[in-house]
Amino acid sequence: MKAMILAAGLGTRLRPLTETQPKPLLPVAGTPLIVWNLLLLRRHGVTEVLINLHHLGPMIEQTLGDGRRYGLTLTYSHEPAILGTGGGIKQAEPFFEGHPFLVLNGDTLLELDLGALMQAHRERGALATMVLREDPDVERWGPVTVDQAGRILSITGRGRTGSGAAQRLMFAGVHVMHPRLLREVPAGRESSIIDAYVRAITEGEPVYGYRMAGYWSDVGTPERYAQAQRDAEAGLIALAGRVR
């Protein structure tokens, strides 16, 4: 399975740090955020990765190169105008050659068994699988509602209503999807992939959640960036594999 890492964002909440350095290159324990995710992918056998670029994109490409240093093959998708999660993934669609693929954020730290995620996606015959987690601030993040079978009913209140017990979780920013999810995403225009998810859920497509319980941080503010540094120093998260 191939993967895409979203790395085109502006990182506005971390200014002024991100005015001269893209957020995915900010170091945690001396290693850029995006490299943590590259090594996680390699650990689970994913070696072909596409990275989309916009804000200070040449710095990311110059730092990572072709990926051989990490045991990977890297491809880049340049966005002169930022396309958002929907438009960015849509532009990269030819890279996936019609097969399911992984998507990760380039600025999130997490510990997750990607192999188990991919297996669960295949076994359920899902169109897409979103990684979800419990969080006391789930309402602030935008809740994803799932039924007892793990099927997603709604995202931030958009989608379907279900019968019986349902749980409200937060989206961890990792997902597996089939390119068919992108069929109505407009090409060359900024959009959110959540719109495609809501459309699929409303149409009754099999969209599932996958629960994670390991470490997670979106490193989205100076406070959370500082906390991630402390967490790495304390050994709460460790690099998946050292660079050769």
The stretch 55-72 carries a mean pLDDT of: 93
DSSP codes, 155-212: ETTEE---SS-EEEEEEEEEEEE-GGGGTTSPTTS---HHHHHHHHHHTT--EEEEE-
Could you tell me if residue 239 is inside a domain? Answer: no
The stretch 203-220 carries a mean pLDDT of: 93
Rounded percentage of the chain residues whose pLDDT exceeds 70: 95
In which band, very low, low, confident or very high, does the pLDDT at 243 lie, cut at 50, 70 and 90? very low
The stretch 122-145 carries a mean pLDDT of: 91
CB atoms within 10 A of CB 162: 16
Could you tell me if residue 106 is inside a domain? Answer: yes
168: region left, alpha or beta (phi > 0 left; psi from -120 to 50 alpha): beta
Tally of domains within the chain = 1
The stretch 201-206 carries a mean pLDDT of: 96
Could you tell me if residue 243 is inside a domain? Answer: no
Could you tell me if residue 150 is inside a domain? Answer: yes
Q: In the predicted model, is pLDDT for residue 61 greater than 80? A: yes
The stretch 19-31 carries a mean pLDDT of: 87
In which band, very low, low, confident or very high, does the pLDDT at 162 lie, cut at 50, 70 and 90? low
How far apart (Å, rounded) are the C-alpha atoms in residues 201 and 50?
27
How far apart (Å, rounded) are the C-alpha atoms in residues 52 and 192?
15
Where in the sequence is the domain holding 56, given as residue range(s)?
A: 2-233
Q: What is the pLDDT of residue 10?
A: 72
Q: In the predicted model, is pLDDT for residue 204 greater than 50? A: yes
CA distances to 104, 113, 136, 207 from 240, rounded to whole Å, are: 15, 11, 27, 29
In which band, very low, low, confident or very high, does the pLDDT at 220 lie, cut at 50, 70 and 90? confident
Q: What is the pLDDT of residue 138?
A: 82
Which residue carries 């419990």 as its tokens? 134
CATH of the domain at 41: 3.90.550.10
The stretch 47-70 carries a mean pLDDT of: 94
Could you tell me if residue 242 is inside a domain? Answer: no
User: What is the pTM (predicted TM-score) of this model?
Assistant: 0.92
